[in-house]
Amino acid sequence: MSKYYNLTDYTIETFDNIFKKKAFPFDVKFDFIGSESQKTLIKISKIPDQYSFKMGKELLVSMNETLMGVFDEESIGILIEQEIDRVSVNIDSGKIKLIKPDINTFSGLINKYGISKIAKANQVQELFEQQKKDGQEEFIV
């Protein structure tokens, strides 16, 4: 028995409804697949160029529909939107890439300090690293 399957229309519509609320400069073409062994609700990955050309699709959306029954509707929406936010389209070239989230931390720290303080700390750290990479001797924070 295959661990992959076709997603239901309901699942694809749920994804599409959330995706349509986002502002993308170009039409992004998705292919959908179900995966019963996937440990997360949703995962978006880039389709390699040669397969993208043949399929006419740019990104693969893999979902575990079994997990949809575990989450409430709001949590499903958050998880899908969180994954969609990783998609970045270069306006000049139309090139699509997947980016890392801007906050990567532990829930205990969010509960202790709040999301805005953690976001600020992460932004300062990223700015410091970028300036260091750019070879700036004076750091602007």
CATH number of the domain bearing residue 90: 3.30.2010
Is the domain of 79 the same as that of 138? Answer: no
Cα gap 60→72, rounded to integer Å: 24
The set of residues, in sequence order, having a beta carbon less than 8 Å from that of 15 and lying 6+ positions away, is: 30, 32, 42, 61, 63, 80
41 phi and psi angles, rounded to 5 deg: -65, -45
115 or 97, higher pLDDT: 97
- Residue range(s) defining the domain that contains residue 107: 102-141
What is the number of structural domains in the chain? Answer: 2
> Rounded mean pLDDT of 36-62?
95
Is the domain of 94 the same as that of 119? Answer: no
8 Å CB contact between 31 and 44: no
112 or 57, higher pLDDT: 57
The set of residues, in sequence order, having a beta carbon less than 8 Å from that of 3 and lying 6+ positions away, is: 35, 36, 37
Is the domain of 66 the same as that of 124? Answer: no
Is the domain of 63 the same as that of 118? Answer: no
Confidence at residue 139, expressed as pLDDT on a 0 to 100 scale: 47
pLDDT digit string (tens) for 78-110? 999 999 999 999 888 888 999 988 777 778 888
Q: Which of 72, 70, 49, 79 is nearest to 61 (CA)?
A: 79
Cα gap 125→128, rounded to integer Å: 5
Is the domain of 96 the same as that of 137? Answer: no
Is the domain of 108 the same as that of 55? Answer: no
